Chain A
Amino acid sequence: SYELTQPPSMSVSPGQTASITCSGYKLGDKYVCWYQQKPGQSPVLVIYQDVKRPPGIPERFSGSNSGKTATLTISGTQAMDEADYYCQAWDRSTAVFGGGTTLSVL
């Protein structure tokens, strides 16, 4: 079965740029989306189709996808961005999630 791999955790200082990676076989051939989830809350879509932001998502969130790696970039990270982030792609009509990355803003 298809797998997506994310680093379990990372930290960033306020105001700096956070880059969260997601890797998978020929991932660049698929569309990738990203979700943010804060404790006790439902996930929120922050990026879809590799680079698109849903309405209401701040411009500091951006995405890219090429080769075997997709990246979620948060520019000028704020304390409110501290959360779990999940990548997701489709493989043969099944949705696959990465294991999630806990982002700490320290």
Chain B
Amino acid sequence: EVQLLESGGGLVQPGGSLRLSCAASGFNFRTYAVNWVRQAPGKGLEWVSGFSDGGVTTHYAESVEGRFTISRDTSNNTVYLQMNSLRAEDTAIYYCAKDVLRGSQSAFDIWGQGTKVTVSS
């Protein structure tokens, strides 16, 4: 079964850091890109970060550029999102999501259950 499982969310103070993990199973991790998408309370979906070019190139939303870093470990099929200099507006449920097509930025056919991040003092 194709599955994504996020972890690492929690409560953090403004200016703090957090690292999210997304463990993938059931598909060729090197072939399909995994992205991060977030949803603030009561709001819509916002793409955060992802890969292209088979995982070589990383991309970020303007709102997180310079503060967040996406990476992946192909030895354990895990994608990470390192979040630094966190702000109240980063409070959201963070989902990881898999591209439906190989090697390209397409659509997200598999989503994790999400991990909640709260930035508050």
Q: What's the Cα separation between A24 and B47 when bound, in Å?
A: 17
Interface residues on B, range: 20 to 34
Contacts of A54 in B (CB 8 A): 100, 109
In the complex, per-residue mask of B78-121: 1 if CB is within 8 Å of any chain A CB, else 0: 00000000000000000101001000011111011110000000
A43 adjacent to B61 (CB under 8 Å): no
Residues of A within 8 A of B59 (CB): 93-94
List, in ascending order, chain B residues with CB within 8 A of A33's CB. 106-108
Fill in one digit per residue for A44-62: 1 if any B CB lies within 8 Å of its CB, else 0.
Answer: 1100110000100000000
Q: Is the CB of B109 within 8 A of A100?
A: no
Main SS at interface, chain A: strand
Indicate whether A95 sits within 8 Å of B100 (C-beta atoms), given known contacts A42-B113, A43-B45, A100-B44. Answer: no
**Interface of B with A (CB < 8 Å)?**
35, 37, 44-47, 50, 52, 57, 59-62, 95, 97, 100, 105-109, 111-114
